[in-house]
């Protein structure tokens, strides 16, 4: 009798064969790039990595007009937020949550407001003066524009918010469809 596990393995193998051919080569996606965006009318043209980190850690950083920059986050469980916090803030989600709890206990400013979807984040940034947010480059909308980080725009190879890719080998698909694990590929040098 055929077990459920065998059926899952065969299904995964058939799907992998159809999508990637036979063998053990790895399917690799384009690196994930997060763009820091502002409203089209914003005077803000660039930030340094240090300023970006400080903005998202609650520091009072101003734009060229002298107004405080207002950051917006994605939802706490969003993969983009997790990647952003790891890359820019150097914190895991748990560390970031602890940081904001400590600030609240000390009577300091709170965490950036979280906004649901990438589309909604961009709509909010386009309407709220002096605000910034991050979105995937492939999700950019016309009402916002990306700004440079450390003098680099998202299209540049040395852009600091290049977050790497995820890879999955065909062999992994065939070995155990019920317990797959993705491994993170190193970002290009």
- What would the 3-class secondary structure string for 107-121 be? CCCCCCEECCCHHHH
**Do both 8 and 79 map to the same domain?**
no
Domain of 65, CATH number, reads: 3.40.190.10
Average pLDDT over residues 113-117: 90
pLDDT score of 1: 57
**Do both 76 and 145 map to the same domain?**
yes
Residue with structure tokens 């605000």? 131
**Do both 16 and 41 map to the same domain?**
no
Domain count, the chain: 2
Does residue 157 sit within a domain? no
**Do both 21 and 41 map to the same domain?**
no
Three-class SS state of 7: helix
Position 173 confidence tier, pLDDT thresholds 50, 70, 90: very low
Ramachandran angles phi, psi of 142, nearest 5°: -70, -20
**Do both 25 and 44 map to the same domain?**
no
Position 177 confidence tier, pLDDT thresholds 50, 70, 90: very low
Does residue 155 sit within a domain? no
Residue 102 in tokens: 């400590």
pLDDT score of 179: 39
Position 140 confidence tier, pLDDT thresholds 50, 70, 90: very high
**Do both 129 and 176 map to the same domain?**
no
**Do both 102 and 24 map to the same domain?**
no
Does residue 154 sit within a domain? no
Give this prediction's pTM. Answer: 0.70
Does residue 158 sit within a domain? no
Provide the CA 61 distance to its chain's centre, in angstroms: 22
Does residue 159 sit within a domain? no
**Do both 66 and 113 map to the same domain?**
yes
**Do both 104 and 175 map to the same domain?**
no
Written as one string, the DSSP assignment of 155-177 is: TSTT-TTB--EEEEEHHHHHH-G
46-79 pLDDT, tens digit per residue, is 999 999 999 999 999 999 999 999 999 999 888 9
**Do both 9 and 80 map to the same domain?**
no
Domain that holds residue 21: 4-30+166-185
pLDDT score of 30: 62
**Do both 119 and 50 map to the same domain?**
yes
């Amino acid at each position: 009798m055929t077990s459920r596990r065998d059926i899952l393995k065969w299904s995964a193998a058939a799907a992998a064969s159809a999508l990637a051919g036979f063998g053990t080569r790895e399917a690799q996606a384009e690196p994930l790039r997060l763009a820091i965006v502002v409203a089209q009318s914003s005077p803000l043209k660039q930030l340094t990595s240090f300023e970006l980190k400080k903005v998202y850690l609650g520091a009072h950083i101003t734009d060229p007009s002298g107004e405080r920059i207002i950051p917006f986050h994605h939802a706490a469980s969003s993969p983009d937020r997790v990647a952003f916090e790891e890359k820019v803030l150097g914190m895991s989600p748990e560390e970031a949550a602890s940081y904001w709890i400590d600030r609240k206990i000390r009577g300091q400013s709170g965490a950036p407001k979280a906004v649901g979807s990438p589309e909604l984040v961009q709509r909010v940034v386009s309407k709220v003066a002096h605000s910034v947010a991050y979105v995937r480059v492939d999700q950019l909308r016309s009402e916002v524009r990306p700004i440079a980080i450390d003098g680099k725009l998202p299209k540049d190879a040395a852009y600091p918010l290049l977050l790497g890719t995820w890879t999955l080998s065909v062999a992994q698909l065939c070995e155990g469809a019920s317990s797959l694990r993705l491994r993170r590929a190193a970002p290009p040098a």
